[in-house]
Amino acid sequence: MIIAEGFVQSEAARDNEFQTDEEDGPLIVQFAAKDPVIFSEASLLVYGKCAGVDINCGCPQRWAMEEGYGSHLIKKPELVAEMVSSAKRRITDPDFTISTKIRLLDDLRETVDLCRQIEAAGADFITVHGRTPKQRSEPVDLEAIKIIKESLNIPVIANGDIYTIDDAERVGEITKVDGVMSARGMLENPAMFFGYAKTPRECVKRYIEIAQLKEPRFMTFHHHLVFMLEKSLPKPKRKVFNNLRNKEAVLEFLSEHYFAQDELPRSEGPCS
């Protein structure tokens, strides 16, 4: 989730928050936005570098809601609809998608109305996290997602507690949605949709090879490895790994504690 206002106003913010290349796709860029003009301008800045943009109307974190972002927006359907239609007016490419990700309101009828207004504004699809902003570990309301799917003509994506391919298939079967989205589950295990219970060693190796070619910032490089290794490293080693501060230390740790001898790919390129 990229803060649209800072992204529009600052080249430094754009360089820090967004990094991609022509092989990185299909890619959708998600913005935290609360102003139609700002959102459309942010969308224009990434147009041509991604397949679409998404408005985050689902983040339940306190800071986001206090700033008027994330789940705060589900109570402002007219504003969300105007952000969608504003971006649609600025970017007329039919292959470029404008979408939203929402959480549930306490009243399901209000949630359906929100989704219908977003649809009428021209959104290409909607992702629904099956909890309200106040809910955390409560079961995902799959029945609510099913009703939303039945109420709309555009594609609906289900989100929430999808950690395995079995979860994805179960949610799809119950809700009849057009697709499923995994967030933390996919961060922890990028091979999840291939049926792996945890990130396979080959996946970690491949990620490092890609990072050496593409040279992401160290924070990004390390952040993804922290998630990917969560189920593979014992807690004491995980604590050490999570606090490493540079690429060389990361590669040395993995060479000693994770990969077999000479298995880890090496490169002289920076990862800063």
Q: Provide the annotated binding site for FMN.
A: 30, 129, 183-184
Q: Are 165 and 192 in contact (CB under 8 A)?
A: yes
Whole-number Å distance between alpha carbons of 65 and 153: 29
Strand order in the sheet with 2-3: 2-3, 28-32, 52-57, 97-103, 125-129, 156-159, 179-181
Whole-number Å distance between alpha carbons of 194 and 108: 34
Locate 22 and state its tokens. 């022509």
Give residue 198's region: left, alpha or beta (phi > 0; psi -120 to 50).
Answer: beta
Whole-number Å distance between alpha carbons of 87 and 75: 20
57 is catalytic: no
CA 96 distance to own-chain centroid = 18
Q: Which is the catalytic residue, given 59, 115, 203, 271? A: 59
**Residue closest to 162 by CA, chosen among 133, 134, 193:** 193
User: Which residues fall in the annotated binding site?
Assistant: 30, 129, 183-184
Give 211-217 contacts, CB < 8 A, sequence gap 24+.
211/271, 212/265, 212/267, 212/269, 212/271, 213/269, 214/21, 215/269, 215/270, 215/271, 215/272, 216/19, 216/271, 217/16, 217/19, 217/271, 217/272
Give me the active site residues, please. 59
